[in-house]
Every structure is written in C-alpha cells, then in structure tokens.
Chains A and B, each alone.
Chain A
C-alpha cells in the first residue's frame, strides 16, 4: 500500500485502492499469497506447486472451509459456535448408526441427519436468544454434551467407539444408495484426486457471499452482529436471524460429517473434536471481527485455504507436523494484527 493514497474518506472521494483495501478479507488474501509462495519455496518434494499438491491442500481446506464460511457468517452475526467441531462426529455417527444399526437406507438416513443437525443448531440458537447467556457458554455446554453422547451412545449400540461398514449391506453386497451418496459427497473428480468436497466448498462460499452482500437477510446478519438493539429498533427480527445462523453452522458441520462418513465408510466417536477452533481461526484470519458486525464469507474460505496450505505445506517441507500448531498460532496473530492495522488505516470504523 502506498502512502499517497491515505485518503480521509469523509471529506474526499474514495480512491479505488481504498475501496479494495476496505474489503474485510484483503489482509487474509495477501497473507494467503505469502503463505502459498512460502510453502512453494520450502517444498522438498516438488509437489506443493503441482496439481497433485493443490488437490491435497484444497482437500484439507475444503472440509475446513465449508464450516469456516458458516462460522464466519455466525461471527458476523455476533455469535460463536464451539459445538461446530463435535457436530461433525455427531452427524457422522447419527447417520452411520441409522444405516448400520437400524438398517435405514442411505439417503433417508442422510436426510434425517440434516434434520437432526438443524435441530441441534436451533437448540443452540434458541438457548442463546432466550436465556441471553453468551453463545460461548451455551455452545460450550452443547460441545461437551454432544461429546459425551457421541461416546456413550456409540458404545451402547456398537460396543466399540466407532461405527463401521456403512457401505456393506447385511447380505454382503454394497448397501443400496451408498454408491450414489458416495458420488455426491466423497468422489474424486480428476486423475489428480481433486475431491468433490472442493466443489461443495466453492459453491457454498459463493452462495454465502451472495446471501451476505445481496440479500435482505445478509443485511440483517451484519446488523444483528453490529448492534442488535439498533437492529431491533428498526424492525429486524434479531432472534430469528441468529437462530437461522446457528442452524446453518450445525448443518454445514453435518455436511462435513456426511462427507467423511461416505469417504471413510466409518466414523470415530471422537471425530471433529478440537476442530471448532480451526474454523474460528479461519474466520478470524479471514477478517471477521470477534465482536461481530464485520467480515465476509469469502474471508472464511481464504482462512481455510491458508490452514489447508499449512497442513500440507509443512508435510511437504518434510518438517515435523507438530509445528503446524505453532504455525497456526503465529498466522492467527499476524493476520488479526495486520487486519486491524488495515482497518484502522482505510476504514476509520470505530471499534
């Protein structure tokens, strides 16, 4: 950024650079470029830059990104969901148990799982808007409850801590509907092994961006996160908006749960736990304000891409993958720090 364009946009016309720099995800976008170049340079295997390597990191990024976009929307709406990680496991187990233990056909089981996830999201949202307790606490309680239920129910029904054999029919063949569901949720698209989850990720990012910037509901999301009282005073249905956002987060976790279930044909009871913070990191790296009212859906996607690159790039650099967490910590701080600098400089927005 050049110093000559430090425009006071209250008294002067806005330059196009300021317009671009005002986008919430701009810091994350530049960060993603730096991270990409960095891992391309330290790559020891020569694959990070290739289509194979790209397929690997976008695969990691896609499952994070699908949820990170939802978490970013919820964060713009002023709330958190700490149960977004454990919901991956809950949904996968729910669908898996319906299929293997109760012999429900694959597609109806998937449908029922989305209804279940919507119910969990509704419960989160309803509890938050009705009790007035911080969503941090409400969803933390949901997180631990689901974690216990996941283990407890799975053990009771299967005597193990995993659900397996989703693809096998009782007579030994392939279960009806499994192949089509696998094609929709978990197939590989090209010879380079790009996964269909990447398509889900991109499509959901586009839809979320359109909803956020081009619809009435998107306007409400910014308003309830920016100032719920002001929003209520001009007639925005604050409670409904927040509940819908919680439902969207749970259902996106459910989508990722179904994707992993179809891909692995099994589900561990502990699946998804600890990932909730990865989604929050992705959203925050992508430029969302923790206090709400500011951010973008594509920011969550860029944040997820950075995290995907880090996971795969560190492996390709042949470093110990334990360093991934240090990297995530540093990138989180650096991103938030530069985002706030950019915002102060080009936005002038208070807070």
Chain B
C-alpha cells in the first residue's frame, strides 16, 4: 500500500481483506484507505465485488482474511448496528427510505425523538417536522410539507433525504451504494453536489459506483475493483477523466462501450 501521507489516521482502512463464501472467493487482498473529509470512490463493474465490499464496511459481513481499521484502530464489526455505533452509516441504493411514509417519519426512522416517560413516551412530532425541514433546507432541498410521503419526492431528493439523515445522526463515514445509478442526469448532479457538501462538512465519504464520470466529478481518491481484487489506485492529481474511464473499461477497445454503459440509465 501507499505511504500514509499525513499524521491523521484514516477514517476507515482495509488491509489485505478477503471474503470467501464457501469455495467462492468474493474478495481477495483488498487494501484501501478512506482519508478523513475526502471522497473516496470505489469503481467497479457488475460482479466486481462492490456489494461484498460495502457489506464488509457496513458490518453486514465479517471478512474472512485481513484487517479493518477504524480511526487507525483494528476493528471487527459483527452487525450493521456496531458499524452505526462507530459512526459508519450506509445509504443503500433502493433500500434507504420507505416510500409511503412521510418525509419527517423517514428522516427520524430508527432515531425518533421522544419525550415523557413510558408508557406515555410520545414522539416530538412538531420538533421532528420542523428540524427535518431545516435539515433538508441545509442540503439545499426545500421540503414544503414534511408530511408528504417520500414516494412523492424525486429519486434525487430521496437520496438527499438519506444522506441528510445519515449526516444529521452523526455519521463520520458515509458509505453510498450507487446513489446515482437509478437517477437522471440532473438528479445525479444534485446528489453529487450533496456528496461534496457532506465531505466539506467533515464527513468521510465512500462513494461506490460503476460510473467513472460521476466519480471523477466529486472524488479525491479512486480505487478500481475488478473480479474481487483491487486493480488500481489513483488520486485526483494523478489521473485524468479519460484515463479513469479507460481503466474502468479495461482497454481502449471498450472505450466506446464504456461511455455507453456509463451513461445514464
């Protein structure tokens, strides 16, 4: 791995991590660093091992080999809850919000603000609605009515709700699983802006995507994952967008195809 360039420990790091499911090797010798307050992109095509990597980082899977470090300390997660308690929040592509529920109910889901004593402990509905609105406004999204179901928001706004929620509840590390893959061009732009905002506000972001164009726009560091291995590692200063796209596609002859594949779906 590359030398540590600052004294500050990385928010998250993996060293020679591997994961086997029976005889299937899903990940092998994966090392990566997620420096604080930066956007670290993990690029990979379908089947590259992105999902397994996310699940290791978010505590769903425990790696079979190697070691994970949180804030420089060796750490093992046995459940997503443990990862959350360590300030690592994951926003899954489609599984982040409940469409039929009001925006404010989604925002506070799992962290509901309450008052009073059991059995009279109630939700602080008025506070929750107002602070949800304020929090979303900070992300640049005007929720006129926090009572409206999340299903009525656009895809980009829904991702923003998830990101705002994770940041609000004290996430130090934010893992984003393909946040732009289901979105249109404009909405992707909105989400990319939120990713940048989150990083600038002090959050370390892991941005997992198959789209090198999106990654290049917001990323500080880039990791290329293929067939369960870390193929390459770049920083923003050492790579151009064209190089990144080419590397991602695995060759010049795939360049054209990569643009097509990387285009909006």
Q: Would you give the shortest CB distance from B144 to chain A, in whole angstroms? A: 6
B81 touching A235, Cβ below 8 Å: yes
A223: chain B residues within 8 A (beta carbon): 98, 101, 105, 109
Task: Specify which chain B residues have a CB less than 8 angstroms from the CB of A294 in the assembled complex.
Answer: 100
- Set of chain A residues within 8 Å of B95, measured between Cβ atoms: 227, 229-230, 233
- Beta-carbon contact of A226 and B96 below 8 Å: no
**Interface-located stretch among B24-32, B118-126, B197-205, B214-222:** B118-126
Q: Decide yes or no whether B9 CB sits under 8 A from chain A.
A: no
Q: Say yes or no: B110 contacts A347, CB within 8 Å.
A: no
- The reply on A293 being an interface residue by CB < 8 A is yes
Decide if B110 touches A235 in the complex (CB within 8 Å).
yes
* Residues on the B chain within 8 Å of A10, using CB: 148, 152-153
Q: How far is the CB of B161 from chain A (nearest CB, A)?
A: 11
In A121-137, the 8 Å CB interface with B consists of none
B100 and A293 contacting across the interface, CB-CB below 8 Å: yes
B99 at the interface (CB under 8 A from A): yes
Interchain CB contact under 8 A, B109 and A214: no
Q: Which residues of A contact B98 (CB under 8 A)?
A: 222-223, 226-227, 230-231, 293
Question: Roughly how many angstroms separate A293 CA and B109 CA in the complex, as a whole number?
Answer: 14
Q: Are B101 and A226 in contact (CB under 8 A)?
A: yes
What CA separation (Å) do A73 and B112 show in the bound complex? Answer: 19
Q: Once the chains bind, are B81 and A9 in contact (CB under 8 Å)?
A: no
**Contacting pair B152 A349 (CB below 8 A):** yes
User: In the complex, what residues of B have CB within 8 A of residue A14's CB?
Assistant: 144-145, 147-148
**Mask of A202-235 contacts with B, CB within 8 angstroms, 1/0:** 0000000010001110111011001101111111
Q: Determine the distance from Cα of A220 to Cα of B147 in the docked complex, in whole angstroms.
A: 16
Within 8 A of A (CB), among B17-43: none
B120-144 CB contact bits vs A (8 Å, 1 = yes)? 0111010000000000000000001
Known: A13-B144, A14-B145. A236 touches B110 (CB 8 A): yes
Min C-beta distance of A182 to chain B, whole Å: 28
Secondary structure type dominating chain B contacts = loop
Q: Known contacts being A14-B144, A350-B151, is A222 close to B121, with CB within 8 Å?
A: no
A220 to chain B, nearest CB (A): 8
Q: Which residue of A lies closest to B80 (CB)?
A: A233
Check A108 for interface membership: any CB of B closer than 8 A: no
Does B149 reach chain A (CB closer than 8 Å)?
A: yes
Complex Cα spacing A29 to B80, Å: 43
In the complex, chain A residues whose CB is within 8 Å of the CB of B69: none
> Are the C-beta atoms of A219 and B112 separated by less than 8 Å?
yes
User: Which size class do A's interface residues fall under?
Assistant: 20 to 34
**Is B195 interfacial (CB-CB < 8 Å)?**
no
- Whether, in the assembled complex, A155 has its beta carbon less than 8 Å from a beta carbon of chain B, the answer is no
Interface residues as binary, B71-95 with A (CB distance below 8 Å gives 1, 0 otherwise): 0000000001100100000101001
The listed residue (A215, A235, A348) touching B152 by CB distance below 8 A is A348
Which chain A positions have C-beta within 8 A of B52?
A: none
Chain A residue numbers with a CB within 8 Å of B114 are: 215-216
* B149/A347 in contact, CB under 8 A: yes
Whether A233 lies near B96 (C-beta < 8 A) is yes
Contact B152 A347 (CB under 8 A): yes
Min CB distance, B38 to chain A, in Å? 24
The CA-CA distance from A348 to B147 in the complex, in Å, is 13
Cβ A293 vs Cβ B101 within 8 A: yes
Assembled-state Cα–Cα distance A234/B147 (Å): 20
Decide if A234 touches B109 in the complex (CB within 8 Å): yes
Interface of chain B residues 155 through 195 with chain A (CB within 8 A)? 165
B97 at the interface (CB under 8 A from A): yes
A19-B147 contact given A227-B95, A233-B92, CB 8 Å threshold: yes
| Nearest CB of B to A254, in Å | 20
Contact B84 A222, beta carbon cutoff 8 Å:
no
Contact A351 B109 (CB under 8 A): no
Taking CB atoms, residues of chain B closer than 8 Å to A351 are: 99-100, 151
Kindly list 5 other residue pairs between chains A and B, CB separation below 8 angstroms, not including A219-B108, A230-B109, A351-B99: A9-B145, A227-B95, A231-B109, A293-B100, A349-B99
Between A and B, 7 residue pairs with Cβ closer than 8 Å are A13-B144, A14-B148, A214-B125, A216-B121, A230-B97, A231-B110, A233-B90
Residues of B bordering A, CB below 8 Å: 80-81, 84, 90, 92, 95-101, 105, 108-112, 114, 121-123, 125, 144-145, 147-149, 151-153, 165
Q: Which residues of A contact B (CB under 8 A)?
A: 9-10, 12-14, 19, 22, 210, 214-216, 218-220, 222-223, 226-227, 229-236, 289, 293-294, 347-351
Sorted nearest first, the 5 A-B pairs with minimum C-beta distance are A226-B98, A234-B110, A235-B110, A216-B112, A349-B151
